[in-house]
Structure 1
Amino acid sequence: MMNRETFTVDEARRKLEHYCAYRERCHKEVVAKLREMNMIPLAVDTIVVHLIENDFLNEERFARSFARGKFRIKKWGKKRIVRELQAREISAPNIREGLKEISEEDYLETFHEIAEKKWQQIKDTFPGGKKQAEALFRGRKKLSDYLLYRGWESHLVYEKINTLTS
């Protein structure tokens, strides 16, 4: 269903100021919101420039906040964070700045913690007897799929799997 409500540029600007003040937004989200409000391209550009000039919209700040949040809350690895930021059309320099929010010590500590926790969950489902070797192989695959999907680097994943299963 199409939104047929119309807004003046001032109304849209105020609405987007609140939208950006609520939480950090990227340019892509803001432009999509303005298009959803049926704003013409000139109005979209004008409002985006206003939001940037008045510091409602800042992609470096967005990248930093996004990286911090996804790492701390969702326990994503750097590769997943980078992929998600690229999908939001964030520039490479801003992505690099965002990743600086994650200390190497916290990163590795979190990686080891979630890998060990997940391995324990997987291991608890292993059957006994002759199926042990097959279950170990499946368990290693499950763990690697889990960690790789969440964006952890493959060299970390395979080193950890070898450590946990040897």
Structure 2
Amino acid sequence: MSAESALSKAMFICSRMEKCCFDIRKKLRDWEISSDDQDQIIQTLIDEKFINEERYTNFYVRDKFRFNRWGRIKITHHLKQKQIPEYLISDAIEQLDEVEYSNMLSDLLTSKIKTIREEDPYQLKAKLYRFAQGRGFESQLSLQIIDKLISAMD
């Protein structure tokens, strides 16, 4: 594939869905574009506003929280894997509403309790804690909400 056709294909992809430099570079590598051309294509996409890492990060954080119901830790980890700068990640994460965040975790744990068949409160707490960790929620917040839910059951 030529660099020109790769650029137009990348522009099309970026116009249809928000992408970051990492995603596009991966595509360009798959298309066997030289690294010099990759750099040039990505710079063109940035200059022409097809790629904006800040915009991408904000959308990613909001979508993964609302639709995938992920916590801050998991979202941050996935963005770091995409080589998004730390300051963009922390800015986007800070925009999450604290009350909505706690309510989301509470709702997740409440629905999870209904699926767990466990009599021992210690084992129940451990299973809920592991579930919250797997979703990427912070330990402190997870334990607070789990304690409230378990004490409400008594």
Aligned pairs for 1:54-93 within 5 A: 54-93=48-87
Structure 1 residue identity aligned to 2:98 = E
Q: Give the length in aligned residue pairs.
A: 151
CA-CA distance at 1:137 after TM superposition: 2.3
CA-CA distance at 1:68 after TM superposition: 0.5
Q: Which residue of 2 aligns with 1:164?
A: 149
Alignment match of 2:42 (pick from 48, 69, 83): 48
Q: Does 1:145 align with 2:130?
A: yes
Alpha-carbon distance between aligned partners in 2 of 1:158 and 1:75, rounded to the nearest angstrom? 18
Unaligned runs of 5+ in 1: 1-6, 127-131
Alignment match of 1:25 (pick from 19, 31, 39): 19
Unaligned runs of 5+ in 2: none
CA-CA distance at 1:163 after TM superposition: 1.7
Q: Which residue of 1 aligns with 2:140?
A: 155
Alpha-carbon distance between aligned partners in 1 of 2:149 and 2:57, rounded to the nearest angstrom? 34
CA-CA distance at 1:88 after TM superposition: 0.8
Scaled by the length of structure 1, what TM-score is found?
Answer: 0.86
CA-CA distance at 1:90 after TM superposition: 0.5
Q: Could you report, residue by residue, the CA deviation over 1:15-71 in whole angstroms, capped at 9, with x for unpaired residues?
A: 000111121111111111101111111110110000000011111111101100000
Alpha-carbon distance between aligned partners in 2 of 1:159 and 1:54, rounded to the nearest angstrom? 47
CA RMSD between the two structures: 1.3
Query: % of aligned pairs identical?
Result: 27
Scaled by the length of structure 2, what TM-score is found?
Answer: 0.92
Structure 2 residue identity aligned to 1:140 = K
Structure 2 residue identity aligned to 1:54 = E
CA-CA distance at 1:117 after TM superposition: 1.5
